[in-house]
Amino acid sequence: RAVIDRVAASAAAHYASDCPMAGHQIESGLASGAAPEHPLRLLRLAYGL
Residue pLDDT, tens place only, 1-49: 899 999 999 988 999 998 999 999 999 999 998 999 999 999 999 999 9
Question: Which residues, other chains included, contact 27 with Cβ-Cβ below 8 Å and sequence gap of 6+?
Answer: 33, 34, 35, 36
The pLDDT of residue 22: 93
- CA 21, CA 41: separation in Å to the nearest integer? 17
CB 45 within 8 A of CB 14: yes
Expressed as residue numbers, the domain containing 24 is: 2-46
pTM of the model: 0.76
**Domains: count for the chain:** 1
CB 24 within 8 A of CB 36: yes
Contacts 24+ apart (CB under 8 A), 36-41: 41/16
The pLDDT of residue 1: 85
